[in-house]
Structure 1
Amino acid sequence: MLALYGHLFSSYTWKALIPLYANETPFEFRSVGPDQPENTAFVQAAGPMGKFPVLQDGETVVFESSAIIDHLDAFHPGPNRFVPADPAAAIRTRMMDRVFDNYVMNMMQESVVAAIRNPGAPDPEVLARVNEKLERVYAWLENWLDTYDPPLGITLVECAAAPSLFYADWVHQIDRRFPRLARWRAHLLTLPAVSRCVEDARPFRAWFPLGAPDRD
């Protein structure tokens, strides 16, 4: 039995949960937090920074969400193939995975960290810088979506895009200047695997220090 260590409110945990749900892969979820010291200790020992999600597959331990999805594709295949077999398509898919992780998810988390450090008064320079960069990425994604042909199922692109756009919109809303991106975000939230993550995380929304966590 596979075991995934993480937290239901964590964007990167969502990224690993989505492919498991999409392919209906049997697994056990092991929550990480103060009330689960043994799970926390496992995660701390798994990788150099002790971050979740972490996948345990027998004697094999995989950390980093993109690597987890590659592992699922290779050793627990299902109806959704998350990275295409065609080398050129695989490169494009992995490139977009990096876009969503590095330029959306990690970027918006800078504002979240600033808000946590100074509750009620986050550094306005940090917020302004993050918002400016997110708008640049939103504009780029708006143009990219003009050429993106979404698959019938879920790929690594959707696994990365859904959680990053879900939370980024709370930090800096995707407004009417980016209609394709707003529509695609809404579409992603209707996917059963993504919707399950949204609902499971709902009890923790009060933790989010910025934006409009009651919007979705």
Structure 2
Amino acid sequence: MPLQLFGHPFSSYTWKALIAFYENDIPLTFRNLEEPGAAQELEARWPLKLFPVLAEGDRTVVEATAVIEYLHVHHPGPVALIPADPDLAVQARMLDRIFDNYVMGMMQKPVIDAMLPAERRDPIALDQAMTRLDTIYAWLDAHLAGREWAVGDSFTLADCAAAPSLFYADWVRPIPEALASLRAYRARLLARPSVVRCVEDARPYRHYFPLGAPDRD
């Protein structure tokens, strides 16, 4: 049976999984959750209703990182998103968590805050999130100095996580011009064909972004 990926074109974590599919040209049926019946099928497989969710026959894989690991094991291609070198594999997995937790996790806080009524907003938590973004931006800039990709010499799981994380984070907390390595890395990611495809497919949904999507990307 063909692989099915349940998700939404504007979802950062859906992008992360789709990038892995596109990098290795893995055939899939994309189940856009705005299509009739897709959300119900997702819930039947994963009651938390979080996405993306991968389905292959009776198998269900949840969480974008696990989806990419599954593809690496069961549908390998020329782009090895999990490095063969075990030390580089550890680094790729570490950077994957850094991008998910400390870039995407922090940028989601102002987005969620903007969706709350004024009396439920938390300016202290918002300030803490922005401070953490500033801190991780500086750390990533130092890490990326002299590098093309996040780990080793090739595109990996870490870059799959980085692309949507930095795409959206720069919308809510622009990366300072002084952080040239990080800004150049984001530009390289957005020029990657697999990422370009995600950006373009998500473009019709930009009105969903509660803070207002900028025109620069």
TM norm structure 1: 0.92
Deviation at 1:21, TM superposition (A): 0.7
Task: Count matched residues.
Answer: 213
CA shift in 2, pair 1:108/1:48, >3 Å: same
Which amino acid in 2 is paired with 1:200?
Answer: D
Deviation at 1:74, TM superposition (A): 0.4
Contact 2:163–2:189 (8 Å) recurs in 1? yes
Contact 1:114–1:126 (8 Å) recurs in 2? no
| Larger deviation, residues 122-131 vs 200-209 | 122-131
Distance in 1 between residues matched to 2:108 and 2:44, nearest whole Å: 24
Deviation at 1:209, TM superposition (A): 1.4
Partner residue, 1:96: 95
Distance in 1 between residues matched to 2:72 and 2:201, nearest whole Å: 24
What secondary structure does 1:62 align onto? Answer: strand
Partner residue, 1:25: 26
Distance in 1 between residues matched to 2:200 and 2:81, nearest whole Å: 23
| Larger deviation, residues 202-211 vs 166-175 | 202-211
Which amino acid in 1 is paired with 2:110?
Answer: S
Partner residue, 1:205: 206
Percent identical pairs in the alignment equals 49
TM norm structure 2: 0.92
CA shift in 2, pair 1:99/1:16, >3 Å: same
What secondary structure does 2:61 align onto? Answer: strand
Deviation at 1:112, TM superposition (A): 0.6
Gaps of 5+ in 1: none
Contact 2:207–2:213 (8 Å) recurs in 1? no
Distance in 2 between residues matched to 1:152 and 1:139, nearest whole Å: 21
1:59-138 equivalent positions in 2, closer than 5 A: 59-118=58-117, 123-138=122-137
Partner residue, 1:215: 216
Deviation at 1:13, TM superposition (A): 0.1
Partner residue, 1:192: 193
RMSD between superposed Cα atoms in Å:
1.8
Contact 1:4–1:55 (8 Å) recurs in 2? yes
Partner residue, 1:179: 180
CA shift in 2, pair 1:47/1:148, >3 Å: farther
Distance in 1 between residues matched to 2:176 and 2:211, nearest whole Å: 17
Deviations 1:116-171 (A, max 9, x none): 1138x954333322211100000010111126452665310110000000000001
Gaps of 5+ in 2: none
Which amino acid in 2 is paired with 1:116?
Answer: M
Distance in 1 between residues matched to 2:99 and 2:50, nearest whole Å: 18
Deviation at 1:212, TM superposition (A): 4.4
Deviation at 1:39, TM superposition (A): 1.5
Distance in 2 between residues matched to 1:211 and 1:87, nearest whole Å: 42
Which amino acid in 2 is paired with 1:139?
Answer: A
